Amino acid sequence: MNKTVLITGASSGIGLNFSHKFAGSGHDVILVARSEGKLQTLSNEIENKYGVKTYVFTSDLSKPDASKKLFEEIKAQGIQVDILINNAGFGLFGEFEQTDLSKELDMIQVNITALTELSKYFGKEMVKSKKGQILNVASTAAFQPGPLMAVYYATKAYVLSFSEALANEWAPHGVNVTALCPGATKTGFSDAAELQSSKLFQSGVMSVEDVVEEGYKQMMTSTKTVIVPGMKNRILTQSIRFMPRKMVTSIVRKVQERV
């Protein structure tokens, strides 16, 4: 019997590639995103290509009741979630006094609150059954403050800290929790966050396929709690530990600025 993987933000970017990766490895997949049309197209493609079962759930995780409703709908269909991929998330570029507060509150809801709720709902069941895996998509942004994307960087710092704590709590119960921390990646994220012309994205990015390949391999074959894809990203996240915090913040500001 195939294991079942729940993937949020499954219709594009990292989530889309994880959907193909898990399905191609023989997992049934639960596809969650806002766009029903995209999910149905993806569902048909995956079932035809890999011969696994797919489930489609349309959900806008920026809505306060969405995570609980999603959990209840999945339970009502009698589906057991063996692996949870909390991938849904987005960012916003700009100086804090000028950015849209409503978008930032939606960001906190998706990047932090929904991720926390889904980890609680499905994680409790995993702990009870003494098995399961959760991968939370954080970012290299989690390792330092981020001027010009202050709220986004802060949300990813939460995801990293939260994941490391859960990994410690749930390891004795047979549940593995991992934080995937990609750097700049070639997805639709930069468009949504208005980052296309920033120095960060102009300086070179990883392909989404490489990020997912490394994330999947390490998640499934190692006991690592934190996965940072790409040698360049690993060097950067390690080197900032030895630099003054104020200097790191200044450097991030310069890198974030538009060309």
Assess whether 121 carries a catalytic annotation.
Answer: no
132: alpha, beta or left, given left = phi > 0 and alpha = psi -120 to 50? left
Write the pLDDT tens digit of every residue in 221-258. 988 999 999 998 999 888 888 888 889 898 889 988 87
By residue range, what is the domain housing residue 151? 4-256
224 catalytic residue (yes or no): no
Percent of the chain with pLDDT over 90: 81
CA distances from 162 to 48, 86, 87, 91 (A): 37, 12, 15, 19
Phi/psi region, residue 206 (left: phi>0; alpha: psi -120 to 50; beta: rest), is beta
CB 223 within 8 A of CB 176: yes
How many angstroms from the chain centroid is the CA of residue 56? Answer: 18
Could you give the CA distance from residue 222 to residue 15 in angstroms, rounded to a whole number? Answer: 21
Q: What's the total number of domains in the chain?
A: 1
CATH number, domain with residue 10: 3.40.50.720
Catalytic annotation, pick one of 121, 152, 158, 216 = 152
What is the pTM (predicted TM-score) of this model? Answer: 0.92
Give the chain's mean pLDDT: 93
Question: How is residue 244 written in tokens?
Answer: 């003054």
Given 153, 156, 158, 216, the catalytic residue? 156
